[in-house]
Amino acid sequence: MIGTGHTVYVGARDERLGEKAAAELGGRPLPLDVTDDDSVSAAAERVRAEAGRLDVLVNNAGVIGLGNDAHDATAEQVRMTYETNVFGAIRVTHSFLPLLEASEAPVIVNVSSSLGSLGIAGDPEQFTSILPVYYSALAYNSSKAALNMVTAQYARTHPRMRINAVDPGHTATDLNGHTGPQTVAEGADIIVRMALMDTNGPTGGFFGNSGPVPW
């Protein structure tokens, strides 16, 4: 993105960390808590005032959260995970849609996970090339399944936009205590590819680094 001619806004809920990351990447820091209506509205207003449009929205914010053990998960725990992983993506998309509509080639990339695939959950052994180890996690996995359907619905409703869900694959980040075998650059590859695709690219799909992921 940076280095491809885009002006990149780096959304972060921690202003200090956001400024540090933006400075390192050559982007602009954008205070953004995806669980907070006022924060998301203010972020959209800032981009509108400075840029007037948005070409690419990447909904990346995600949490593992609580409520992942189906033996004792509570509705409240699961709701908190959905607040970021599902409602956060909807809240941000809703606020930025007018700016995306002002773009000539709008793109949305929703960062999902193969753990949210109903196809893989239903038959993990058939898909070991995509997800070598299947992790059960009630809140996280179901939130990503919901995000996938949210993606499909936005794509059907906005045919002029390229709107896809992506699976970065198991990547060493804070989310998993840096246990993933992939580097962040490897995990980000599919996100960047889908973010930069032109108007001939697919929409309403679910893709990983090796190709389509079963819904």
Ligand X SMILES: NC(=O)c1ccc[n+]([C@@H]2O[C@H](COP(=O)([O-])OP(=O)(O)OC[C@H]3O[C@@H](n4cnc5c(N)ncnc54)[C@H](OP(=O)(O)O)[C@@H]3O)[C@@H](O)[C@H]2O)c1
Residues designated catalytic: 140
63 touches ligand X (CB under 6 A): yes
Q: With CB under 6 A as the contact rule, which of the stretches 47-55, 95-103, 126-134, 170-178 interacts with ligand X?
A: 170-178
Q: Which residues contact 37 (CB under 8 A, 6 or more apart)?
A: 91
Cβ closest to ligand X, residue 180 vs residue 204? 180
CB of 187 to ligand X, least distance (A): 6
- Rounded (5°) CA angle 87-35-71: 65
DSSP 74: -
Among 47, 61, 146, 195, binds ligand X (CB under 6 A): 61
Cβ closest to ligand X, residue 129 vs residue 200? 129
Which residues 66-125 are close enough to bind ligand X by CB under 6 A? 84, 88, 111, 113
Cα distance between residue 146 and residue 47, in whole Å: 28
Cβ closest to ligand X, residue 55 vs residue 167? 167
Cα distance between residue 102 and residue 95, in whole Å: 13
Residues that bind ligand X (CB under 6 A): 13-14, 17, 32-35, 60-63, 84, 88, 111, 113, 167-168, 170-171, 173-176, 180
